[in-house]
Structure 1
Amino acid sequence: MEFTLTFIRFLFWALYFAAPLMLFLLLVIIALGQGVGRLEKWGRFDALYWTFITATTVGYGDMRPVRRMSRTLSVLIALTGIMFTGILVAMTLHTATMAFERHVDMGMVKEIKKQI
């Protein structure tokens, strides 16, 4: 339980410090998606839905851009989404590692490694 609380605390602070970057990337994704929505004459909610499906690289295929500019913007949305996801995963792994190092005796880990 203590490990989990440490992890949550570290993750909160990591997200706090990375919030400006994450917010910027999120706004870029939303702005590009709304641009595609206007080009394709989609509603705002449909454009937002399509944007997050594209940014997370899920790609259901139920909506797809037809115009060349929209397709170009969709590639930018996907790349920005990959950056966003990568940063989030990296922060989560780093905070888990920090919490692990704080709560685990590294001498004991080395002893276990020797026995394996």
Structure 2
Amino acid sequence: MLAGLTALSPILLTLVALIVINGLIIGRLQGWSRGDAIYHAFINATTVGYGDFRPTHGLAKVLSVVNAFLGLLLTGVFVGAGVFAVELAVQIAP
């Protein structure tokens, strides 16, 4: 199981890095602080969307959609790893 997580770590870290970088670009376009930009990036990526920060600049809106898609990919990788772990557990159980 640990080997599986080790194999997934480059994918997970890349997706997280892309979400952060994209969020910082959105924040710069919007004039937000770094903390607010990263907060918005992960709230958007997890599709929670509280609405306290929302992009108004055209390019920032497009990048927010990209961020939401990256978040869906990140969630998919986590869910896939969880399903794989359950499958392994069921195969091992007597």
Q: How many residues align?
A: 94
- Tell me, which stretches of 5 or more residues in structure 2 are unaligned? none
Deviations 1:77-110 (A, max 9, x none): 0001100100110111111111111013xxxxxx
Report the alpha carbon displacement of residue 25 of structure 1 after superposing the two structures with TM: 0.9
Distance 2:60 2:25 in 1: 8
Q: What TM-score, normalized by structure 1, do the two folds share?
A: 0.78
Report percent identity of matched pairs.
Answer: 37
**What does residue 47 of structure 1 align with?**
37
Q: CA RMSD in A?
A: 0.8
For residue 46 of structure 2, what is the aligned residue in structure 1? Answer: 56
Measure how far apart 1:55 and its partner are: 0.4
Pairing 1:12-91 to 2, within 5 Å after superposition = 12-91=2-81
Report the AA paired with residue 83 of structure 2. L
TM-score with structure 2 length normalisation? 0.96
Give the unaligned 5+ runs of structure 1.
1-9, 105-116
Distance 1:94 1:43 in 2: 39
Q: How does 1:95-110 map to 2 (within 5 A)?
A: 95-104=85-94
Q: Which amino acid aligns with 1:75?
A: V
Q: Secondary structure at the match of 2:48?
A: coil
CA distance in 1, matches of 2:59, 2:68: 14
CA distance in 1, matches of 2:33, 2:27: 7
* DSSP 3-state at the match of 2:32: coil
- Which gives a bigger RCO, structure 1 or 2 (Cα 8 Å, sep 6+)? 1
